[in-house]
Chain A
Amino acid sequence: MIDDLYQETILDHSKHPRNCHAMNDANRNAEGYNPLCGDKLKLYVKMEGDVVKDASFQGSGCAISTASASLMTESLKGKTRDEALKLLEKFHNLLTTDTPVTKDLGKLVVFCGVRDYPARVKCATLAWHTLKSALDGVAEPVTTEEFE
C-alpha cells in the first residue's frame, strides 16, 4: 500500500518541514546531493563540545528526503556525536535490512515503509549521509553515489 510509504508523519514533515532554515552560528556544515533526482540539501549543525546543540537544513527535495531531513534534525538535538552516528547506522538498517523495528528509533520508524521501495532508499538517507560528512568535517559536497 502506498500509504505505508507516505505515512501521515512523513506527509506532515514534508509539507511543514521543521528546522528548515539557515543557521548563522552553526559550526559544522555540509552539502548533500542526489544526482539521480537532483535533490540538494544543506545541513547546519551546532556542536557544543561533543553534543549536538542544534541542527537545521535547507534544500529542495521529494517528500521522503524533506521529511527525513526534518525528522533527523529534530531527533539529533541533545545527542552526542557517537549517539548520532549510532542512530544513523540504525536508521540505515531500518531502510535496507529486514531487521525488526526497534523502539529506540523513536519517530524515525515511520520510514520503515521505505524498505519496500528500493528506488527511494537514497531519498531517505541523503540527510543522514550529509550529517556524517558534517560531523566528519568533510568540505566537498557528499553525493548519494558515494554511499556504500
Chain B
Amino acid sequence: MSTLSSVITAGFDVEKIREDFPVLKQTIHGKPLVYLDSAATAQKPTAVVDAIRKFHEVDCANIHRGVHELSQRSTAAYEEARAKAKRFVNSKSTNELIFIRGATEGINLVASSWGRKNVTVGDEIVISAMEHHSNIVPWQMLCEEKGARLRVIPMNDRGELLLEEYEKLLNPRTRMVAVTHVSNALGTINPVKQIIEMAHQAGALTLIDGAQAVPHMQVDVQALDADFYTFSGHKLVGPTGIGFLYGKTALLNAMPPYQGGGDMIKVVTFEKTTYADLPYKFEAGTPNIAGGIGLGAAFDYVNAIGLEKIAAYEHELLLYGTEILSRIPGLRIIGTAREKAAVLSFVMEGIHPHDIGTVLDRQGIAVRTGHHCAQPVMDWFHVPATTRASLAFYNTAGEIDALAAGLGKVKEIFS
C-alpha cells in the first residue's frame, strides 16, 4: 500500500526497529514468528533486557536507606524510572506516581483505599460496557461491601460509548467514573477528556485504565484532568510485574495506605505508626526493582522512536489490516469505532476462534483467542469469543498478509 510505504519512507524504518527485538527472529513450527498479540504483552527490546541484566550483574542491592554504593546506585536507577514516568505522562510531580505491579493493582489500590473511605451505601460507581475484568471486579467488590450501586455506560454496535446515556447515569450519588482509555477487546479509543469533564461537572472523581493507551499514544494526565490514571509497563515494551498509578496529590494524601509494611512508614512503635509521605506511603515492601529499572529503559526506548511516529505508523497498519481482513468472506470485525487503536478482533462464520488460533499457531502466527478478559463485551456482541490480532510498531504489512494467508488455510480446513 502506498500510504503505508510513505510512512515508512517518512522515517519509520520498521526493519531497523525489528533488529532491536531478538525474540522476533525465530521460527515457530518451522515458520517465521508473526507476533500479533501485543495487546496481551509487548515484546521487549534489547535495551530493556540489557538494563535488567545490568541491574542484576552490576548494581543489585535493595533500594532506599542503604548507605553503601550499590544501594545508592539501585535507588538512583529505580527513582530515575519514576522521573521518566513523570515526563512520559506529564504529571505535576513524581510524588503523584506510585509504583505498582500493573494496571490491575492500580485499580485495586484505588477501589480499596479511596473506595473504602469514601463510598457508602446508596452511592454509585460508573464503569463502561467495554471494561476489562480488572476494571469491573474491584468495583463490584467495593459495591458489594458498601451497599453501593454499579452502573454501566452502554455502547453502540460499533463499540463506541453512548455519551448521552452516560450523561443520564450521572447524578449527585455518583462517586467515581472508572473507564478504559482504549478497549483491549475492541480497540475503541474513548473520549476520556470529555468523560472526565462530565464526571467532574457531576461532582464525581475519575479513574482511567490506560493499559492499552499509554503504549500507543501521547497521554497527558494534566491535560486530561484525570484524578487517577493507571498503566502497566509490560504493554509498553517493559517487563511484567511493574507499572504506575497516577493520582492527584490531594487525593493520594487523603487516602489511607493500601498495604502496611516496610518502606511506607516514618516511625513505628507498638502504640502507633506514622506513614511515609507520597509516593512511599503506597509502596510497602521491597518492590520490583529490576522491573522498575527495565521500565525506565522502555520509556527511553519509546521516546527515542517517538510516540507520535508510533501512533501514525500503527494507524496505517490498522487501516491496512482492516482492509485486508474485510476482504475475507464470512469474516466479521468486532469493534469498528471511528477512533480506534491497532486491534483487530474478529469472528469467522462457522469457525470457532480456538480452532482459528490453533491453525494460525501452526503457521507461526500468534494471536489471542477467547473473551480477552471482557466477557460482558462478548455477551453484548452475542459471540462466545473472538480472535484478536493486536499490532505494535514492530509489526509489518507483510505480517498482516501472512495473517490473511493463514486465515485462508483456516477456511481450507473448516469449510
A60 & B414 in contact (Cβ 8 Å cutoff): no
Q: Can you list, as one digit per residue, whether each of B110-130 has a CB less than 8 Å from chain A (1) or not (0)?
A: 000000000000000000000
Partner of A119, one of B358, B378, B384, B413: B358
8 A Cβ contacts from B374-393 to A: 375, 378, 384-385
8 A Cβ contacts from A60-80 to B: 60-64
CB contact under 8 A between A62 and B362, given known A38-B378, A38-B385, A40-B384: no
Q: Which residues of B contact A14 (CB under 8 A)?
A: 414
Q: Which residues of B contact A117 (CB under 8 A)?
A: 358
Q: Which residues of A contact B370 (CB under 8 A)?
A: 36-38
B267-275, B313-321, B348-356 - the one binding chain A: B348-356
A120 & B354 in contact (Cβ 8 Å cutoff): yes
A84 vs B314: C-alpha distance in the bound complex, in angstroms?
54
Q: Can you list, as one digit per residue, whether each of A32-74 has a CB less than 8 Å from chain B (1) or not (0)?
A: 0000111110000000000000000000111110000000000
How many residues belonging to B are interface residues under a CB distance threshold of 8 Å?
17
Number of interchain pairs (Cβ within 8 Å): 48
Question: B359 near A: Cβ within 8 Å?
Answer: yes
Partner of A38, one of B371, B413, B414: B371
A142 vs B9: C-alpha distance in the bound complex, in angstroms?
55
B358 & A37 in contact (Cβ 8 Å cutoff): no
Q: Which residues of B contact A2 (CB under 8 A)?
A: 358-359, 362, 413
Min CB gap A5→B, angstroms = 7
A37 & B384 in contact (Cβ 8 Å cutoff): yes
Q: Which residues of A contact B371 (CB under 8 A)?
A: 37-38
Min CB gap A84→B, angstroms = 26
A63 & B414 in contact (Cβ 8 Å cutoff): yes
Q: Which residues of B contact A60 (CB under 8 A)?
A: 384
Min CB gap A79→B, angstroms = 28
8 A Cβ contacts from B76-130 to A: none
8 A Cβ contacts from B358-375 to A: 358-359, 362, 369-371, 375
Min CB gap A33→B, angstroms = 11
Question: A11 near B: Cβ within 8 Å?
Answer: yes
Q: Which residues of B contact A38 (CB under 8 A)?
A: 370-371, 375, 378, 384-385
A39 vs B384: C-alpha distance in the bound complex, in angstroms?
7
A62 & B413 in contact (Cβ 8 Å cutoff): no
CB contact under 8 A between A63 and B352, given known A36-B370, A38-B371, A120-B358: yes
In the assembled complex, 28 residue pairs joining A and B whose CB atoms fall closer than 8 Å, in A order, are A2-B358, A2-B359, A2-B413, A5-B358, A6-B359, A6-B414, A11-B414, A14-B414, A15-B414, A37-B352, A37-B353, A37-B369, A37-B384, A37-B385, A38-B371, A38-B375, A38-B384, A38-B385, A39-B354, A62-B352, A62-B354, A63-B352, A63-B355, A64-B355, A117-B358, A119-B358, A120-B354, A123-B354
5 nearest interchain CB pairs?
Answer: A62-B352, A38-B384, A62-B354, A2-B362, A63-B355
A residues lining the B interface (CB < 8 Å): 2, 5-6, 11, 14-15, 36-40, 60-64, 117, 119-120, 123
B residues lining the A interface (CB < 8 Å): 351-355, 358-359, 362, 369-371, 375, 378, 384-385, 413-414
